[in-house]
Amino acid sequence: MSKTVRTTCPYCAVQCNFDLHLENGLAVKITPTKACPVAGGTVCKKGLASLSDLRHADRLTSPLLRVNGVLTPVSWEVAFTAFADRVRPVLERDPSRLGVFGSGALTNEKTYLLGKLARVAFGTPNIDYNGRFCMSSAATAMNRTFGLDRGLGFPLADIASSDLIVLFGANIAETLPPIMQFLKAARDRGAKIVNIDPRATPGLAQTQLAPFPGTDHLIAGLTLNLLNGWGRIRPAAPADGADEVLASVAHLTLEGVSKACGVPEAELLKLARLYAQAHRPLILSGRGPEQQVNGTDTVSTLINLAFLAGHFGKPGGGYGTLTGQGNGQGGREHGQKSDQLPGYRSVKDPADRAFMADFWGVREASLPGAGKSAQELFLACGTEIEALIVIGSNPAVSAPGSGVVRERLAALDFLVVIDFLPSETALMADLVLPGSMWAEEEGTTTNLEGRVQRRRKAMTAPGGAREDWRILCDLARAVGRGEKFAYPDFAALQTEFFASTQGGKADYSGLNAERLDGQTFQWPVLHAAHAGTPHPYFAPYATPDGRARLVAAPMTVPARAPLTLTTGRVASQYQSGTQSRRNPGLKGAPEVQLHPDTAREYGLSPGQPVHLQGPHGETVLPASVTPKIRPGVAFVAFHWPGSANELTSADLLDPHSRMPAFKSEGVTARPVPVQAATDVHVRPSPPAPQSVYSKEPA
Q: Where are the domains of the chain?
A: 2-55, 64-132+327-486, 136-321, 564-679
Question: Which letter does DSSP use for residue 121 in this model?
Answer: I
Distance CA 384, CA 375 (A): 13
User: Are 329 and 151 spatial neighbours (Cβ–Cβ below 8 Å)?
Assistant: yes
User: What pLDDT does 685 receive?
Assistant: 45
User: Are 148 and 542 spatial neighbours (Cβ–Cβ below 8 Å)?
Assistant: yes
Q: How confident is the model at residue 402 (pLDDT cuts 50, 70, 90)?
A: very high
Give the pLDDT confidence of 568-589 residue by residue, as tens digits.
998 888 888 898 898 888 989 9
User: Are 461 and 467 spatial neighbours (Cβ–Cβ below 8 Å)?
Assistant: yes
Q: How confident is the model at residue 21 (pLDDT cuts 50, 70, 90)?
A: very high
Q: How confident is the model at residue 676 (pLDDT cuts 50, 70, 90)?
A: low
Q: List the alpha helices (DSSP H) in 238-292.
A: 242-249, 254-261, 265-277, 287-290
Q: How confident is the model at residue 670 (pLDDT cuts 50, 70, 90)?
A: very high
When pLDDT is averaged across residues 502-531 and rounded to a whole number, the result is 96
Q: How confident is the model at residue 121 (pLDDT cuts 50, 70, 90)?
A: very high
When pLDDT is averaged across residues 595-603 and rounded to a whole number, the result is 97
When pLDDT is averaged across residues 124-144 and rounded to a whole number, the result is 94
User: What pLDDT does 689 receive?
Assistant: 45
Closest residue by Cα to residue 230 from 192, 274, 193? 274
User: What pLDDT does 339 receive?
Assistant: 95
Give percent of the chain above pLDDT 90. Answer: 83
When pLDDT is averaged across residues 596-613 and rounded to a whole number, the result is 97
Q: Is the pLDDT of residue 185 over 50?
A: yes
Q: List the alpha helices (DSSP H) in 380-445.
A: 395-398, 402-410
Sheet with 521-522, strands from edge to edge, namely 443-446, 451-455, 521-522
Cα–Cα separations (whole angstroms), residue 626 to 92, 263, 475, 605, 665: 57, 19, 50, 11, 20
Q: Is the pLDDT of residue 472 over 80?
A: yes
Cis amide bond preceding 73, omega within 30? no
User: What pLDDT does 206 receive?
Assistant: 79
In CATH, the architecture of 564-679 is: Beta Barrel (2.40)
Cα–Cα separations (whole angstroms), residue 251 to 224, 240, 254: 11, 21, 10
Closest residue by Cα to residue 424 from 445, 446, 453, 393? 393
Amino acid at residue number 296: T
Helix (H, G, I), strand (E, B) or coil at 564: strand
Please count the residues of the chain: 698
User: What pLDDT does 368 receive?
Assistant: 97
User: Phi, psi at residue 90, to the nearest 5°?
Assistant: -65, -45
When pLDDT is averaged across residues 618-631 and rounded to a whole number, the result is 96
Closest residue by Cα to residue 319 from 345, 343, 340, 289? 289
User: What pLDDT does 317 receive?
Assistant: 87
Q: Is the pLDDT of residue 264 over 90?
A: yes
Distance CA 260, CA 318 (A): 26
User: What pLDDT does 691 receive?
Assistant: 42
Sheet with 592-594, strands from edge to edge, namely 665-666, 564-568, 633-637, 592-594, 618-625, 609-613, 668-671
CATH number of 136-321: 3.40.228.10
In CATH, the architecture of 2-55 is: Single Sheet (2.20)
Distance CA 619, CA 631 (A): 21
Rg of the chain over all Cα atoms, to the nearest angstrom: 24
When pLDDT is averaged across residues 87-103 and rounded to a whole number, the result is 98
User: What pLDDT does 255 receive?
Assistant: 98
User: What pLDDT does 490 receive?
Assistant: 97
Amino acid at residue number 476: A
When pLDDT is averaged across residues 522-533 and rounded to a whole number, the result is 96
Q: Is the pLDDT of residue 488 over 50?
A: yes
Question: Which letter does DSSP use for residue 313 in this model?
Answer: T
Give the pLDDT confidence of 382-398 residue by residue, as tens digits.
999 999 999 999 999 99
Kindly tell me the burial class for residue 21, based on how many C-beta atoms sit within 10 Å of its own C-beta (0-12, 13-18, 19 or more).
middle
Give percent of the chain above pLDDT 70. Answer: 96
Q: How confident is the model at residue 83 (pLDDT cuts 50, 70, 90)?
A: very high
Helix (H, G, I), strand (E, B) or coil at 452: strand
User: E strand or H helix at 281, and its extent?
Assistant: strand 281-285
Give the pLDDT confidence of 342-370 residue by residue, as tens digits.
999 999 999 999 999 999 999 999 999 99
416's CB contacts (< 8 A; 6+ apart) are 83, 87, 387, 388, 389, 390, 429, 430, 431, 432, 433
Q: How confident is the model at residue 254 (pLDDT cuts 50, 70, 90)?
A: very high
User: Are 292 and 214 spatial neighbours (Cβ–Cβ below 8 Å)?
Assistant: yes
Give the pLDDT confidence of 272-303 residue by residue, as tens digits.
999 999 999 999 999 889 999 999 999 999 99
Q: Does 387 or 204 have the greater pLDDT score? A: 387
User: What pLDDT does 679 receive?
Assistant: 46
When pLDDT is averaged across residues 108-115 and rounded to a whole number, the result is 98
Considering Cα of 402, then 406, then 407, then 408, what sign does the dihedral take? positive
When pLDDT is averaged across residues 389-415 and rounded to a whole number, the result is 97
Q: Is the pLDDT of residue 693 over 80?
A: no
**Chosen CATH of 64-132+327-486 out of 3.40.50.740, 3.30.465.10, 3.40.50.1000, 3.40.640.10:** 3.40.50.740
Q: What is the chain's mean pLDDT, rounded?
A: 93
Q: Is the pLDDT of residue 608 over 60?
A: yes
Q: Is the pLDDT of residue 681 over 80?
A: no
Q: Is the pLDDT of residue 189 over 80?
A: yes
